[in-house]
Amino acid sequence: MRATVRGRVQGVGFRYGVLSEAKRIGVAGFVENRPDGAVYVEAEGSPGQLDRLEAFLREGPPAARVEAFDSERSAASGGFEGFSWH
């Protein structure tokens, strides 16, 4: 899954929240802040795991305000070990 989240998503613990949630549900990939103020996520896991991560991304942590969410899914590359933030 590749996802971009926009709104008040930087400086509010969003990346840390994604990292924690991804590790909790067992997906691999990464999360990073983008220069335009968005947060970008690439994640691999089962459809159910990705559904749970997507649900978190649509809400974010309490201090965040998600205004736009875009995602796409494709076949996993298997190129990730664990989940990290950049």
E-assigned strand segments in the chain: 2-8, 28-33, 39-44, 65-72, 83-85
| Catalytic residue chosen out of the listed positions 15, 24, 52, 65 | 15
Catalytically annotated residue among 6, 24, 33, 34: 33
Angle, helices 47-59 vs 14-25, to 10°: value is 160
| Whether residue 15 lies in the annotated active site | yes
Residues with active-site annotation: 15, 33
